[in-house]
Amino acid sequence: TSTTPSNQSPSLSNSLNETFANGQPKANATFVILCRNSDLEATVKSIREIEDRFNRRYGYPYTLLNEVDFTDEFKNRIRVLTAAPVEFGVIPRDQWYQPDSIDEEKAKAAREKMQKDGIIYGESVSYRNMCRFNSGYFFRHPLMLKYRWYWRIEPDVHFHCDINHDPFWFTISMYEYESTIPTLWRHVKEFMKLHPEHVAQDNAMGFLSSDDGNTYNLCHFWSNFEIADMEFWRSPAYMSFFEYLDQQGGFYYERWGDAPVHSIAAAILLPREKIHFFDEIGYEHNPYTHCPKLGTNWQDGRCSCDQAKSFDYNGYSCMAKWDKLMGLPSS
């Protein structure tokens, strides 16, 4: 007979039955990196930095995902970087490629138009596959099911400061901003009308819209850095949101990014205090850097970034809107 409560599978509990030397429990968490074999050098650099700044003291495992097999050379070069467990996974075909329900003629015409208009990744099918996978499938990948939390990393990013606390113990969080979504907001509004039961009280709609939800201001959290609880993505509210959007075909007829999809979902389906901005994590993804500014975060992190070049209060940043909504100090 088992004494595990029947309503909670062990893989979904908050922590593994492991603790650090200081007695703090280790979160049931993994780094997740989606990349190609050709991203090897850039992936090595990202892992080297997160190991040096954080994970050599914490030992969280890595999960690397790709739509084709990683080469032996790739695996060897990655495994040597860390003492933590590393798993390499192939993405099931139906979680990656353009579904048959998409009208390829229509999708092709949209790609050609976007390319003519000079929209970044406008012509790319693989980029669209990636955005759809990151929106609706990574948290359902077989290697991810045993984890509850993840920290997303990309090739070629930089961690500028020591991370002296375990960020998995701060609730759910996400990051910064970007834009390719002419009809997305209309579908979001339709979804909210159809499913008012999924819309959270005290949500962060004020970050997305300055007119009470009528129009979208294009603010979003960058998803290339994201630490979150997959119970949210796996919840009926988000699954129904993703399925609804996926049925509209906009991942292929337009070029909906996983960043706005994740951001809009979190801002609407969650109470806003569930979203956390990590000031203390100095982070760079071309072309922007976030450099810590509050209190002694910059000194405590022995940061290598220049605070004066931090993106947050650049005119293109939505940070000031976030601070205002959350009642945070804004400099």
Q: What residues are labeled active site?
A: 226
Residue 125 or 239: which CB sits closer to Mn ion? 125
Q: Which stretch binds ligand GDP (CB under 6 A): 123-131, 269-277, 288-296, 298-306?
A: 123-131
- DSSP bridge partners of 29: 149
Minimum gap (Å) between residue 31 Cβ and Mn ion: 15
The answer to whether 130 contacts ligand GDP (rule: CB under 6 A) is: yes
Rounded Cα distance between 211 and 186, Å, is: 14
Q: First and final CA of the chain: distance in angstroms?
A: 57
Q: Which stretch binds ligand GDP (CB under 6 A): 10-18, 33-41, 46-54, 237-245?
A: 33-41
Among 67, 123, 154, 166, binds Mn ion (CB under 5 A): 154
The answer to whether 67 contacts ligand GDP (rule: CB under 6 A) is: yes
Contact present, 319 and 313 (Cβ < 8 Å):
yes
For residue 96, give the amino acid letter: W
Tell me the torsion sign for CA atoms 222, 276, 28, 156.
positive
Residue 131 or 319: which CB sits closer to Mn ion? 131
Contact present, 207 and 268 (Cβ < 8 Å):
no
Minimum gap (Å) between residue 130 Cβ and ligand GDP: 4
Among 26, 36, 77, 195, binds ligand GDP (CB under 6 A): 36
The answer to whether 38 contacts ligand GDP (rule: CB under 6 A) is: no
The answer to whether 195 contacts ligand GDP (rule: CB under 6 A) is: no
Contacts 24+ apart (CB under 8 A), 90-93: 90/65, 90/66, 91/65, 91/66, 91/67, 91/133, 91/137, 91/141, 92/141, 92/142
3-state secondary structure of 174: strand
Main-chain phi, psi angles of 18, to 5 degrees: -120, 150
The answer to whether 136 contacts ligand GDP (rule: CB under 6 A) is: no
Q: Is 8 exposed, middle or buried (0-12, 13-18, 19+ CB in 10 A)?
A: exposed
Minimum gap (Å) between residue 194 Cβ and Mn ion: 33
Minimum gap (Å) between residue 63 Cβ and ligand GDP: 12
| Nearest CA among 178, 260, 264, 179 for reference residue 213 | 264
The answer to whether 46 contacts Mn ion (rule: CB under 5 A) is: no
Rounded Cα distance between 160 and 280, Å, is: 10
Among 55, 224, 297, 310, binds Mn ion (CB under 5 A): 224
Q: Taking CB within 5 to 8 Å according to partner kind, which of Mn ion, ligand GDP, none is near residue 34?
A: ligand GDP
The answer to whether 231 contacts ligand GDP (rule: CB under 6 A) is: no
Residue 24 or 179: which CB sits closer to ligand GDP? 179
Side-chain-side CA neighbours of 189 within 13 Å: the count stands at 11
**H-helix or E-strand spanning residue 91:** none
Among 49, 123, 154, 162, binds ligand GDP (CB under 6 A): 154
Residue 259 or 270: which CB sits closer to ligand GDP? 259
Residues at the contact surface with Mn ion, assessed by CB under 5 A: 154, 224
Residues that bind ligand GDP (CB under 6 A): 34-36, 39, 66-67, 126-127, 130, 154-155, 224
